[in-house]
Structure 1
Amino acid sequence: MDYVEIVDLFAGVGGWDIAARCLDVPVVGIEWDADACATRRAAGLPTVEGDVRAFGPADFPTANVLAGGPPCQTFTTAGTGAGHRAPEALDGVLRLIRRMADRDDIAADLACWSDERTGLVLEPLRWALAAIDSARPYDVVALEQVPAVLPVWEAVGKVLKAEGYSVAYGVLHAEEFGLPQTRRSAVLIARRNGVAALPKATHRPYRKGAPRAQGDPALLPWVTMGETLDRTRPFVVVSNYGTGGDPTARGRRRCTEPSSTITGKVNRNRVMAEDGAELDRLSMSEAGRLQGFPTDYPWAGRNIPQQIGSSVPPLLAAHVLAAALGRDHPSAGIAIPSVPRPRSSDETVTAVSNVSTPVHATPDGQSHLALSVGSATFGRMADTQIKPGQITTRTEMMSAFGGGPQGGIVTSATTPNILIYSDHETGHRYGYYDGWLAEEDEKGPIFEYTGAGRIGDQTFTGRTGTGNKAILQHVDDGRALRVFIAAGKVPGSGAKYQRYVGEFALDADLPYIIRQVPDDNGNLRKAIVFRLRPAGAVGREEQDDIPPAEKTRATLVPADVTASTMVEPENNKKTKGKRSAQPGTETERREAALSDDFQAFLKSRGHQVKRFQIKIEGLTSTLVTDLYDVTDHVLYEAKGSATRKDVRMAIGQLLDYRRHVTPAEPQLAILLPSKPDLDLRELLHKEGIALVYRGSGEFVGRILPE
């Protein structure tokens, strides 16, 4: 091929780009993730920031090579294996591939899927077929993804063969191409001219327990983590994931071996010395090097572990591209160069390194935090003896603070403390996220914590509501809230290490909100989400940040998904320390009563009434609207007074919400306790916003149902 230019779909942080640079081939990447784009900008990679579904071959007329690796979340076996529980993750995709070959329109089918990311795996085929139909077919197609996607590549290959391509596909082992990692990748290569073939291995395969020298003498030995990283002390990496389907059997790799698969949770992997002592966890630079990126790669944005784990390893991609283009490469492999990149005055490049607290290895081989506690009345003395960021266990905290060994909310009977335990892995499995909101207000950062109760609605009453009640009343009860986050398994035990985040207090103005989330059985329920404010120094780590929404989504939820419907404890003391989300002022109480009465009015007319729960793309917080009349497609905003201030606020809220709800363009309406003055009525009329108010014992408004 005399001329080569690549368009890279789902370009990520630049795996294919660096591979193309090794081969002196120009490439432009399409990527919509803001954090990955930040890294790409820092690395100086040509990037179109947007959704691949909004583009096509005609937008990149000079590109003759199509490359990419669609998102793998609905196919991967890592973590909860969500992809294997979704039938469309494979069967539905294969069915649509056959229809795409016949040029059927599959848009309606894609819209019905529960996870829109599943359909993204079909985008490379859409692009390839569109290029063929425009009489400008790609000379080469090169795709990479997790092994579970191999049946998809096989089906895509059959379609491309029928269109005149030579196709090869299979699973490649990264260590056989010089990567210090035993990652497995499903690869497809299609060539318009010539015979397609997968790249030939340059290194011996890794076999656990087998010496490096064993195997084909014509191949190089596999590369170790120790050779790749600049660590002077021998180490063992303990994986965040279990092996053989057993979550308690954490995989272990010595520095004399390749790494196991680098995932988006690589920052949770523990690094230990051979004597069991805890060492610094992998820095992001080290994790990137194990993935094949240059040492000085300028990682930027948020959630860098996920950026690294989601990327195609550049070294493997370089071998795939060389084979796809029919180019020779040295048997010793391909060298990945440093990345020259522009720096501008307003560009921030984030260098993230995980810091772990040293722990001491006792003669029994177990690791323990160097924590000294003087007496059972530990109380607030703890601040001087356990520091944010330190690693401990529940057993040690029982000795320090009192309390029990189980439960997410543990109230001590011997000290004025409530211990709050959070586990990212467990929470995400059940559909909720504990952690820091990215958006801070004038009072500073907020840590969200989902209350106790795994089945059904969460409450402040009954046995399951005891812990929630304790948090709500902690100020009046004189108790400190101390937050811990699970930090990996304790070796030889079913227990988990706990990282101390710090002391918190409930937000005084809005201590909790109510959201609709799934319970353990998958049924939707009301969950109490506490809003915690730091009460001193805290240890904030990147993995504790709630991930931003990938796209804006408005979800209909029951009208009672609101804090005003919660029954708080009757003995909530009437003191300045009281924390309550119930209406406090006369205006707030009037607004709540108005909303309840109007909801009852609509339901008495046979109308279905809901609310919208809105997640905004790139943000972590959640918006909840006032009432939405599903029957008449009317979105209401209620206010407790008819003052200019409240009317103007309601207008702004409605205009904000309207942009995000589906179906689009609802009728907007303001619900007031009395008739506003003429000037405000004219303002609402001019803005096209309907008015409903309480008249003489009844609701008045032109849009009301009969």
Structure 2
Amino acid sequence: MLLADAAPAADLVIAGPGEVVSLCAGPGGMDVGGQILGLPPMVGVELDGDACATGRAAGFERHQVDIRRLDPAAHVGVRGAVVTPPCPPFSRGGKRIGVQEMQLALDAITCLGAGCGCEWADLPHRCEDPRTALVVEAARWALTAHDLEWLLCEQVPDVEPLWEDLCAELAAAGWETFDVVRLDAAAFGVPSRRLRTFLYARRYDSTRVSVYDGSGAGLVQRSMAEALGWAPGLRVWTRGARKTSGGNAFNADGPSWCLTGSTRSWKIGAPDGPELTAAQAGLLNGFTEAFPGRAVGRSSSCRSRMWCRRWSRRSCWAR
């Protein structure tokens, strides 16, 4: 992954008054969720070329730009920001290098809160995994995009301490409403489990936001088998014929286990059964059959993000 060394370019402006930017937009998960909610289109920013091509093929606006090259202060009138940085550095399905070096990101956020970007400037070079630095972009936009009215961020639960720290900086900067919540996609009718931590904040409105957690509203939990048209009783093998600790199979009559990049090696029905297809993975993540991602993306990065990228049927953001 390439991350900008140079200072942000004030003349690189991708969104204007009243618009919403989506940083690390990927192939279109948040865009699809926004469509379901009837929200205006977002201006997506993404570094991976194939993910951009996928998003454009689905009808979404994409700018192939390193988000660290954008100057939030130059985006006059931009109303909202959605920040969904890559999760592998922090995910329990990966090496969790981002968790080990989270203090570097926390120091950069504190520095931004004090009006200084010195810790932010070379953060990717001080991180073993440069993607760790991308979680700080939420703070940079919230604290330096002067017209920003609201912010929505999403990450794996282990990033919750960082979101809480950012809330403290938002309070010091005069933001009036902010909170951190955990939501599971399976509670909203998505046929796979995906627990994520969201930060939402509003600069001017002190009205508390009611966050719906998916319980008690009559939403029917969908099983993996139902979503993919399988017969009851089918099992999915996650490690083939290997005998390893931690479990090797689960029943498809409930929501799928959380999909990761390794999901492409799952076997259906038996340890040597057929593999889960990218199209099936898309359905499990809430994409429709018509979504073009599995036909457009060719790089390993894009394929992985189609397997892993999620969208929420309902937003924890309410205006």
Q: Distance in 2 between matches of 1:53 and 1:277?
A: 44
- Once residues 87 and 184 of structure 2 are traced to their aligned partners in structure 1, the CA distance between those partners, rounded to angstroms, is 18
1:263 aligns to 2:274 (yes or no): no
2:178–2:200 Cα contact (<8 Å) kept: yes
**SS class of match (1:201):** coil
Pairing partner for 1:308 from 306, 309, 312: 306
Report the alpha carbon displacement of residue 278 of structure 1 after superposing the two structures with TM: 4.5
| Runs of 4+ with >4 A deviation | none
Distance in 2 between the 1:52 and 1:226 partners?
A: 39
Query: Which residue, out of 79, 95, 100, partners 2:112?
Result: 100
Tell me, yes or no, if the aligned pair for 2:222 and 2:254 is still in contact at 8 Å.
yes
Q: Report Cα offsets for 1:41-72 as digits up to 9, x if no partner.
A: 22121011110011133554443110021112
The CA distance in 2 between the partners of 1:108 and 1:277, in whole Å, is: 46
How far apart are the structure 2 equivalents of 1:76 and 1:247? 20
Alpha-carbon distance in 1 for matches of 2:80, 2:213: 23
CA RMSD of aligned residues (A): 2.4
Alignment check: 8 A CA contact 2:74 2:145 kept: no
Contact preservation (8 Å) 2:223, 2:253: yes
Matched residue SS, 2:288:
coil
Deviation string, structure 1 residues 367-406 (Cα, Å, up to 9, x no partner): xxxxxxxxxxxxxxxxxxxxxxxxxxxxxxxxxxxxxxxx
The answer as to whether partners of 2:124 and 2:131 remain within 8 angstroms in 1 is no
Runs of 5+ in structure 1 lacking a partner? 204-215, 327-706
Report deviation, 1:125: 0.9
Offset at residue 19 of structure 1 (A): 1.4
Q: 1:197 to 1:238 in 2, by over 3 A?
A: farther
SS of structure 2 residue aligned to 1:189: strand
**Cα distance in 2 between the residues matched to 1:55 and 1:147:** 27
Alignment correspondent of 2:198? 187
Q: What letter is aligned with 1:325?
A: A
**How far 1:220 moved relative to its partner?**
3.0
Report sequence identity in percent.
Answer: 30
Query: Which of residues 58, 64, 73 in structure 2 aligns to 1:43?
Result: 58
Q: Of Structure 1 and Structure 2, which has the larger fraction of its residues in strand?
A: 1
CA distance in 2, matches of 1:31, 1:7: 11
Could you say which residue in structure 2 is the equivalent of 1:219?
218
Q: Which residue of 1 aligns with 2:288?
A: 294
CA distance in 1, matches of 2:27, 2:122: 31
Task: Find the aligned partners of 2:123 and 2:271 in 1 and give their Cα distance.
Answer: 53
Aligned to 1:161: 171
Q: Report if aligned partners of 2:97, 2:128 keep a CA contact under 8 Å in 1.
A: no
1:140–1:189 CA contact under 8 A, matched in 2: yes
Q: What SS class does the counterpart of residue 186 from structure 2 fall into?
A: helix
Matched residues, number: 292
Residue 642 of structure 1 corresponds to none
- When residues 79 and 57 of structure 1 are mapped into structure 2, their CA distance, relative to the original with a 3 A threshold, is closer
Match of 2:250 among 246, 253, 256: 253
Matched residue SS, 2:63 = strand
Q: Distance in 1 between matches of 2:166 and 2:277?
A: 38
Q: Distance in 2 between matches of 1:19 and 1:34?
A: 22
Once the two structures are TM-superposed, the CA of residue 114 in structure 1 deviates from its matched residue by 2.6
- 2:23 aligned with 1:25: no
For 1:188 and 1:54, locate their aligned partners in 2 and report how far apart those are by CA, in whole Å. 23
Q: Are the counterparts in 2 of residues 267 and 305 from structure 1 also a CA contact under 8 Å?
A: no
Aligned partner of 1:567 in structure 2 is: none
Q: Measured at CA, do residues 282 and 9 of structure 1 come closer, stay the same or move farther in structure 2, by a change above 3 Å?
A: same
Within the alignment, does 1:139 sit opposite 2:149 as a pair? yes
Q: Which has the greater radius of gyration?
A: 1
Task: Give the whole-Å Cα distance in 1 for the aligned partners of 2:76 and 2:248.
Answer: 47
1:425-464, aligned counterparts within 5 Å?
none
Equivalent position amino acid for 1:83 in 2: G
Work out which structure has the larger RCO, using CA pairs closer than 8 Å and 6 or more positions apart in sequence: 2
With normalisation by structure 2, the TM-score equals 0.83
Q: 1:475: which partner in 2?
A: none
Q: Distance in 1 between matches of 2:18 and 2:230?
A: 40
The AA in structure 1 aligned to 2:246 is A
Q: Is the 8 A contact 2:188 2:219 kept in 1?
A: no
Q: 1:113 to 1:52 in 2, by over 3 A?
A: same
Over 3 Å counting, the alpha-carbon distance change for 1:29 and 1:19 in structure 2 is same
Amino acid at match of 1:169: V
| Structure 2 contact 104–127 (Cα < 8 Å) conserved | no
Cα drift, residue 129 of structure 1: 1.1
> Aligned AA for 1:191?
R
Residues 120 and 196 of structure 1: CA distance in aligned 2, closer, same or farther (over 3 Å): farther
User: Could you tell me how far apart the structure 2 residues matched to 1:64 and 1:164 are?
Assistant: 16
- In the alignment, what sits opposite 1:460? none
Any gaps of 5 or more consecutive residues in structure 2? 1-16
